[in-house]
Amino acid sequence: MDIRRFISGIFLFHSFTEKEIDLLEASASLKKVHKGEQIFSEGLDATAFFVVVSGKVKIFKLSPDGKEHTLHIHSPGDLVAEAAIFDSMLYPASCVALEDATLLRISREGFLSIIKRHPDLALKMMSGYSRRLRQFVAKIEELSLKDMKARLASYLLEHSTVENGVTICNLKYSKKELSALLGTIPETLSRTLAFLKQNNLIIEKNNAIIIPDPDKLRIFSL
């Protein structure tokens, strides 16, 4: 794997020069994990942050009664735990691999040393965060203003492709994971899927959702 090329494609480092990417690469290494493997635990020292190269990982917290609450599900290209490097220096939540995965591990010590020696890089990263923040604001607005049917319709249309003239959305997540991403619970997601199927807006087939008439479904996404 070309680590330099992968790093340059991460939104946080888009503005880095080749020499600056070289500095960052020196503090980076690949970490392979198996499904179910704990990557870090809440409250431990944040010795590194990660970028998902392949596979999926879940960020979660445990309530006092032991109930697990999913906070995020990260896919390839996503940053994991970078905020802890600058903030509390402790991991605020736990992370586990949802499937076999490869992560790019960037050590805190090496990363902060680079920033101290080249403080202008912090401004470049702030620019990347600003762009990402605007995307998050748009997502929050979508979650707050749209009901579940609209959120699901938007997700299916946004992640669909046309295969042999058929519009299809191949689901990359389990229904439990997808419900967490859409800000709901599995039961509500199942009822919403049933509603869309009953109205002939979608056809569910294994891990794929066929959309017979995208324009008709798009009405629900508005």
pLDDT value of residue 214? 93
pLDDT value of residue 140? 67
Domain closes at, from 143, 176, 199: 143
Q: What is the number of structural domains in the chain?
A: 2
- In terms of domains, do 106 and 12 share one? yes
pLDDT value of residue 215? 92
Domain closes at, from 143, 164, 184: 143
pLDDT value of residue 124? 86
Domain ranges, residue 102: 3-143
Q: Mean pLDDT in runs of 10 for the chain (222 residues)?
A: 86 88 92 96 93 95 86 91 80 94 94 91 83 71 69 92 92 87 87 92 92 90 70
**Domain harbouring 136, CATH code:** 2.60.120.10
Domain closes at, from 143, 177, 212: 143
Cβ(157)–Cβ(213) below 8 Å: no
- In terms of domains, do 152 and 134 share one? no
pLDDT value of residue 144? 56
pLDDT value of residue 3? 86
